[in-house]
Chain A
Amino acid sequence: MQIDFKLPSLGADMESAILTQWLKKPGDTIHRGEALAVVETAKGLIDIESFHDGQVAALVAAAGTKVPVGAVLARIDSETAEIVPSAAQVPAPAIPSAVVLPKREASAMTEVTAPRTGTSGAAPHRRPISPAARRRAHELGIAAETLAQTAGSGAIHVEDVEKLAAQAAPPAAPDPRNAMRIAIGTAMARSKREIPHYYLAQAVDFAAAREWLTGYNSRVPVGERLIEGVLLIRAVALAASKIGDFNGYFRNERFEPAKSVHIGTAIALRGGGLVAPALLDADRKDLKTLMQEFSDLVTRVRSGHMRSGEFTAATITVTSLGSDGADVLYPIINPPQVAIVGAGIVTERPWVVNGKLLVRPLLNLTVAGDHRVTDGRAGSRFLRVIADLLANPEQL
Chain B
Amino acid sequence: MNAEAAASGGTVTNRVTYREAAREAIRAALRADPRVFLMGEDVGRYGGCYAVTKGLLDEFGPERIRDTPLSESAFVGAGIGAALGGMRPIVEIMTVNFSLLALDQILNNAATLCHMSGGQMNVPLVIRMATGAGRQLAAQHSHSLEGWYAHIPGLRIVAPATIDDARWMLSAALACPDPVLLFEHIFLYNLEGPLAAEIGGIDIDRAAVRRPGRDVVLITYGGSLHKCLTAAEHLAAQGVEAEVLDLRTLRPLDDQTIMDSVRRTHRVVVVDEGWRSGSLAAEITTRIVEQAFYELDAPVCRVCTAEVPVPYPQHLEEAALPNPSRILAAVRQVLAHGESP
Contacts and interface: CB of A to CB of B under 8 A. Distances in A.
Q: Do chains A and B touch in the complex (CB under 8 A)?
A: yes
Interface of A: 12-13, 15, 42-44, 95-96, 99-102, 105-106, 108-117, 120-121, 126, 128-131, 134, 138, 155
B266 interface: yes
Contacts of B214: 114, 120-121
Interface stretch (B6-14, B64-72, B154-162, B318-326): B318-326
A112 B318 contact: no
B234 A114 contact: no
Contact of A95 (B50, B315, B323, B325): B315
A109 B136 CA distance: 30
B335 A112 contact: yes
6 contacts: A13-B190, A42-B51, A113-B238, A114-B240, A115-B335, A120-B215
Contacts, number: 92
B36 interface: no
B186 A44 contact: no
A99 B315 contact: yes
Given A13-B189, A106-B237, A120-B266, A115 B19 contact: no
Contact of B234 (A109, A110, A117, A121): A109
A112 B331 contact: yes
B47 A12 contact: no
B294 A96 contact: no
Interface residues of B, number: 45
B294 A43 contact: no
Main secondary structure of the interface of A (DSSP, over half): loop
A287 B155 CA distance: 90
Interface of B: 19, 47, 50-51, 54, 135-137, 186-187, 189-190, 214-215, 230, 234-235, 237-241, 264-267, 293-297, 314-315, 318-319, 323-325, 328, 331-332, 335, 338-340
A99 B237 contact: no
Given A109-B237, A130-B294, 7 more contacts: A42-B19, A105-B328, A109-B235, A112-B238, A112-B332, A114-B215, A121-B214
A95 B314 contact: yes
Contacts of A112: 235, 238, 240, 331-332, 335
A131 B296 contact: yes
A278 to B, nearest CB: 35
A35 B331 CA distance: 51
B325 A109 contact: no
Contacts of B297: 115, 117
B213 to A, nearest CB: 10
Nearest to B265: A120
A52 B340 CA distance: 67
A114 B19 contact: no
B2 to A, nearest CB: 15
B149 to A, nearest CB: 24
